[in-house]
A and B are shown apart, each in its own frame.
Chain A
Amino acid sequence: MGYFDISERVIEGDVRVFSVAGDVDFDVAPQLKRRIISRIEAGDRQMIVDLSAAGFIDSTAIGVLVGALRRLSDAGGSLVVVCDNEDVRSIFETVGLESVITLHRSHEDAFAALAHTA
């Protein structure tokens, strides 16, 4: 198991930001899922998942993000993702995931997209 860490903060009053560092695979993706779901259940509706410091991301992690997006959409909320890793972006394009989850290159872009959908 490699290094993995999730940190959280709230910006602009009600936007929950998860900053994920290290590899996000089947071994640790359930931790991310639990953290996100617990915040949704506590009432958070606007979320940014920042993968800027993340390394490898597998299909389990992608499933967590898609699931969280769906839960939030159903509850009238939204989730956006920050990721400027070209390898990850390429994988998303190859399998057509960019139409499901938009990967924003910067935190500012992600926040602007979130504000637009709110």
Chain B
Amino acid sequence: MHSLRWHTPPERERGTEQAECFSSVELRLPARSSELKRARECVSEAATEFNFDPKASYEFVFAVNEAVTNAIKHGSPDRDGTIGLSIDAEGDSLVCSVFDCGPFVAPTTQADMKSDEGGRGFAFMSALTDDLELSVEPDATVVRLRKRRTAGALVRNA
């Protein structure tokens, strides 16, 4: 298995408590672009449950939406025609994995914000999360996005 990782330096203090009631989410989505909204709603609900502040929630939803879009656009669904999405709590972070059954398709264009082509997806994912990990096998691509909860979120939502 090949694994690539991008790390974004922490910009905020770590939260000191973990959301005790967070329930892990497992979702299978038909590999159709019309399902993107359902994926965003699922991630938004999870981020709210995990006490992300609204800005962090929007950023996480944006990043995951890019990963799901890539899986639908470039990946391969399973035999049921679906791709997978899971969301878990890890300490003070929310981790979302998006997986499909195809080989990784590298962007064909530079991640240039001035470009009018696609290819910005990974740049957004990296900029909007604390950790982006790409696991690539011949028959599976998994994008794992981790975003830390801001220290003040629990206090504000207490």
Contact = CB atoms under 8 A, between A and B. Distances in A.
Interface of A: 1-2, 23, 25-27, 56, 58-60, 62-63, 66-71, 87, 90-91, 94-97, 100
Interface string B105-129: 0000000011111101101100110
A118 B18 CA distance: 54
B28 interface: no
A91 B113 contact: no
A56 B61 contact: yes
Nearest to A71: B116
11 contacts: A23-B37, A25-B36, A27-B33, A58-B62, A59-B121, A66-B115, A67-B116, A71-B116, A87-B54, A95-B113, A100-B113
Interface stretch (B66-74, B76-84, B93-101, B133-141): B66-74
Interface of B: 33-34, 36-37, 40, 54-55, 58-59, 61-62, 65-66, 69, 72-73, 113-118, 120-121, 123-124, 127-128
Interface residues of B, dominant DSSP = helix
A63 B36 contact: no
A25 B37 contact: yes
B37 A95 contact: no
Contacts of A68: 116
Given A26-B72, A66-B114, A66-B115, A59 B120 contact: yes
B36 A26 contact: yes
A18 to B, nearest CB: 17
Contact of A63 (B37, B118, B128): B118
Contacts of B123: 95
Contact of A25 (B33, B54, B114, B120): B33
B56 to A, nearest CB: 10
Nearest to B57: A87
A28 to B, nearest CB: 8
Contacts of A59: 66, 69, 118, 120-121, 124
B143 to A, nearest CB: 14
B37 A94 contact: no
A1 B127 contact: no
A29 B38 CA distance: 17
Contacts of B34: 1, 27
